[in-house]
Amino acid sequence: MGGSVNLISTQVPNSFGGTINLGYGSFDTKNLLVNVGDRIGKFGYLVEYFNGSSAGFKTLPGNKNTGFNTNDGVIKLLYDNSDAEIPNKLQFKLQTSSQLDNETYLGLTKEDFNKDPYQRYIASELDYMKNHHRQYVLSYEIKPAEKLSLNLDVYHNDFKRNWHKLNDIKVEDGDKIGLSKLLTYDNATDEIAVLKGEYEGKNTLYIRNNNRLYYSQGIQLNGNYQLTDNGKLRFGTRYHREEEDRFQWDDTYSTKALGISLNKKGEGGSHSNRISNANASASYVQYQHTLDKWVLTGGLRYENISMKQKDFGKTDPKRTGANAKEKSHKVDVIIPGFSALYNYSDEGSVFASIHKGFAPPGINEGQKAESSWNYELGTRYKNEFWDAEASAYINNYSNILGADTNAVGGNTGQGDLFNAGEVLVKGIELYGKYTINGKNSEINFPISVNYTYFDSSFKKDFNSTTYGNTLKGDALPFIPKHMLTVEATANYKDFTFGTIWRYRGDVRNKVGQGAIAEKDLVPSVLLVDAVARYQVSSKANFFVTAQNLLDKKYLASLNPAGYRPGMPFFVSVGTNVKF
């Protein structure tokens, strides 16, 4: 349940060649992507590097950077033995990246947002996230028989990060106050004065070192077997292990008009000090059969997950384990699915599907897996002028999971899952694209409309620390009911010009029904983007892009703490060259 997007990285080329992408835009935003590769006999390679950076569109006192800088590199080495009696390929991939984000959870009060939505309070000037990632993948493909192909992958990922961010404040000797609650205070209060550096009395900023280490690794096998001319079997199995190590602490500071001063460095592990891991095995089998104009697909997936957690507590930074608390949880599930496609002509089809949805629970006692039945019915049509699709969907949850995260205004921010009860989600998705003059014409004008309607309701009353008191009929938060995108493009020989209108409806920040209370409302917004491109040759083009063309000031979110703006007018220019 939830799904994922499988992004395919750049492939090793069949001959020497490469790509250079350069871009520069507003807020000193820079992008560089370069790759080069070749085949020498049966051996091939690819080397790729990306750098992206920006000074950010928000402003801090002293004009400190509010943007980011990321570096990403990939090396692929390939042995291609496809011309052997038993065709096979072996590839090794190494990917490494590092990123610095000068980002904060701290938003603005409504009054300050209305004055200047792009300002940041001085109390957030030390907020940043650093992360590092490394991935190794060894892949082997083999075709041992004419009708059988197999893919074997062995993989390992390491990821470490520390989000050094303001988490709580204290005025004088009062109680500690979390950011979500704090940003509901009036501008005239001492607490808001602390955030701005305008309070001269005793104050304390608690800056959390949200320090975590992760790894994941496993081995998987996938295969395809052509049973008959009309029947294909897909199958696979995977063993996976992952671990999260939380070793967190708070440093304390004070704000003054000239900036932030350090009071005391915290001791590692004095806030969150635990290790969680999981072992999972998953297997699936899927059969697809073509019968005249019908394509029928059915499958089963089995998952078995074993989770463990060892919490050393806030007073055991050396992890002696003297007072450690341990938890464990096991879950297994069979997940079926079936779909049918009917091609009523060469241009059109009708489809339907039913699938069981599943997401594993957390490790706390009483947590259930997320479970649902999901239904879809739709149609597609395509010809020289038209692309169209319409579908209706229903997701019927017997249990939906919520997460106690800062991003949704949770109490602890630790990400612990909780049962959120029975929810019914339903909606429609409509897409239509008409190309004036036809798709194959040298001069054409595509116009497209994409609309999504989303409706949700809790089926029973329940209470949680994050969602609060939820009543039957209340809608899920954070998701607009209506989303609409309209795109118009003109293609004239080597020139392309396009505009995109994006509408997002009102967003509810808390569960509820009926009219959305002003304090919980993220109002609807209409944004306009544009792009122009000139194809200099078959291997080079120049482009100009603009986002939020009308420079609209709008509220993007009320989470995780306070009012947060969307990006203002942004323009970039660049080029793409292949060699």
Pairwise CA distance, residues 106 & 113, whole Å: 12
Percent above pLDDT 70 for the chain? 96
Q: How open is the CA angle 536-541-545, to the nearest 5 degrees? A: 130
More confident residue, 465 or 11: 11
Of residues 477 and 406, the one with the higher pLDDT is 477
pLDDT of residue 1: 61
**Which pLDDT tens digit goes with each residue over 134-188?**
999 999 999 999 999 999 999 999 999 999 999 999 999 999 999 989 998 989 9
Q: Which pLDDT value is given to residue 470?
A: 86
Nearest to 375 by CA among 344, 352, 345, 403: 352
Average pLDDT over residues 347-358: 96
CA 562-102-206 angle, 5° bins: 60
- Answer whether 347's CB lies under 8 Å from 383's CB: yes
- CB contact at 8 A, 501 and 528: yes
Report CA-CA distances (Å) from 86 to 151, 196, 233, 234, 391.
Answer: 14, 69, 20, 20, 43
| Residue range 6-32: mean pLDDT, rounded | 95
Residue partners of 573: CB distance under 8 A and separation at least 6: 23, 24, 25, 542, 543, 544
How far apart, in whole angstroms, are the C-alpha atoms of residue 216 and residue 243? 7
pLDDT of residue 52: 98
Residue 250 contacts residue 207 (beta carbons within 8 Å): yes
- Per-residue pLDDT of 413-438, as tens digits, reads 555 666 667 899 999 999 999 999 99
Whether 338 contacts 314, CB under 8 Å: no
What is the per-residue pLDDT across 209-245, written as a single tens digit (0 to 9) for each? 999 999 999 999 999 999 999 999 999 999 999 999 9
DSSP assignments along 142-206, one per residue: EEEETTEEEEEEEEEEEEEEEEEEEEEEEETTS--EEHHHHTTS-TTSHHHHHHHT---S-EEEE
Average pLDDT of span 451-467: 86
User: Would you place residue 576 in the very low, low, confident or very high pLDDT band (cuts 50, 70, 90)?
Assistant: very high
Q: Comparing 405 with 439, which gets the higher pLDDT? A: 439
Q: What is the pTM of this model?
A: 0.90
Question: What is the distance between the alpha carbons of residues 355 and 462, in angstroms, rounded to a whole number?
Answer: 26
Residue 468's nearest CA partner among 528, 516, 514, 408 is 408
CA distance 31 to 39: 28
Task: Please tell me the total number of residues recorded for the chain in this structure.
Answer: 579
Q: What is the pLDDT of residue 281?
A: 98
* 462-498 tens-digit pLDDT: 877 667 788 999 999 999 999 999 999 999 999 999 9
Distance CA 577, CA 579 (A): 7
**What is the percentage of the chain residues whose pLDDT exceeds 90?**
85
Q: Give the CA distances from residue 297 to residues 230, 336, 353, 391, in Å, rounded to whole numbers and listed in that order.
A: 12, 11, 9, 18
At 461, is the pLDDT very low, low, confident or very high (cuts 50, 70, 90)? confident
Q: What is the pLDDT of residue 6?
A: 79
Q: What is the mean pLDDT of the chain?
A: 93
Alpha carbon 48 to its chain's center: 23
**Rg for the chain, CA atoms, rounded:** 27
| H or E element in which residue 252 lies | strand 249-256
Helix (H, G, I), strand (E, B) or coil at 524: coil
pLDDT in the model for residue 559: 85
Q: Beta partners for 215? A: 158, 243
Q: Could you say which DSSP state residue 258 is in?
A: T
Q: How confident is the model at residue 367 (pLDDT cuts 50, 70, 90)?
A: confident
**C-alpha distances out from residue 188 to 192, 254, 406, Å:** 7, 19, 25
What's the pLDDT band for 117 if we cut at 50, 70, 90?
very high
Longest Cα–Cα distance in the chain: 81
Model confidence pLDDT, tens digit, residues 27-54: 999 999 999 999 999 999 999 999 999 9
Q: Which residues contact 145 (CB under 8 A, 6 or more apart)?
A: none
Spatial contact of 294 and 286, defined as CB atoms under 8 Å apart: no
pLDDT surpasses 90 at 99: yes
What is the tens place of the pLDDT at every residue in 176-209? Answer: 999 989 998 989 999 999 999 999 899 999 999 9
Q: 62-80, pLDDT tens digit by residue?
A: 889 999 999 999 999 999 9
Angle at the Cα of 468 from the Cα atoms of 465 and 473, rounded to 5 degrees = 140
> What is the structure's pLDDT at 2?
62
Higher pLDDT, 569 or 415: 569
Q: Is the pLDDT of residue 568 over 60?
A: yes
- CA 411 – CA 58 distance, rounded (Å): 27
Dist CA 375 CA 370 (whole Å): 16
The string of pLDDT tens digits covering residues 489-498 is: 999 999 999 9
Find the range with the poorest average confidence among 236-240, 296-300, 396-400.
396-400
Written as six digits, the tokens of 495 are 């020139």
pLDDT of res. 412: 53
pLDDT score of 411 more than 70 = no
The reported pLDDT for the residue numbered 72 is: 98
**pLDDT value for 385:** 96
The pLDDT assigned to 529 comes to 98
DSSP 122: G
